[in-house]
Amino acid sequence: MKKITTPVSDEAIRDLKVGDSVAISGMMLTGRDAAHKWMIDTFIKKTRPPQGDDLQVYEELKKLLNGAVIYHCGPVVAGLDTKEYKFIAAGPTTSIREEPYQADVMKHFNVKGVIGKGGMGAKTLKGCQETPSVYFHAIGGAASFLAQTVTKVHSVFKMEFGVPEAMWLIEVKDFPVVVTMDSHGGSQHTVIDEASRKVLDQLLEKPY
């Protein structure tokens, strides 16, 4: 198993290939649908003006996401009343929902890795080559186990989105993932999809 620590260099990202098992340590930010749409609309495509603390958060994100990892995760968090936050569950969210946004977010903020489940599409794969970046597949159904790799919750941004959709700044130790989309154009998800389609076509051709 390869070990990487955020922030991650371009060289370390290019060294990763589809199929590599990786343990990630360091800082990462969670981000799902609301966060990605907000970043795109407010700062990349600029289809809405910044509101409230948007500009302040943006300046923080530019520093925090540079060379870092975004985790598609809607955590269960304890300590909301006291703000002594602790992740109770931290399983991956289905990533394909972020396909319209992910490549642009990676390039704009220089994000070096995206963690989720289920893989992503052609636009994100191209973004992985251009940034460069990689897509890491996390273990579905292991939310409690993955939460144990979170050693500290440092802060949270955009809590008005709700707990699952807010951007949580967390520190992790040996967070386990597998590279399924790399910076060289490799995608295990494409391979599986093409193989599955061939099997389906063969089944549909059989007379009954």
56, two tokens: 């302040």
Residue type at position 23 = A
Contact between 71 and 169 under an 8 Å Cβ cutoff? The reply is no
Pairing status of strand 113-116 against strand 69-71: parallel
Neighbour count for residue 37 (Cβ, 10 Å): 16
Q: What whole-number distance in Å separates Cα of residue 10 and Cα of residue 28?
A: 17
- Tell how many helices (H) and how many strands (E) occur in the chain: 7, 9
Dihedral sign for Cα 141, 145, 147, 150, please. negative
Contact between 97 and 119 under an 8 Å Cβ cutoff? The reply is no
Owner of token pair 């040996």: 174
Owner of token pair 């809590």: 159
Beta bridge partners of 181: 135, 187
Active site residues: 36
Q: What whole-number distance in Å separates Cα of residue 171 and Cα of residue 9?
A: 18
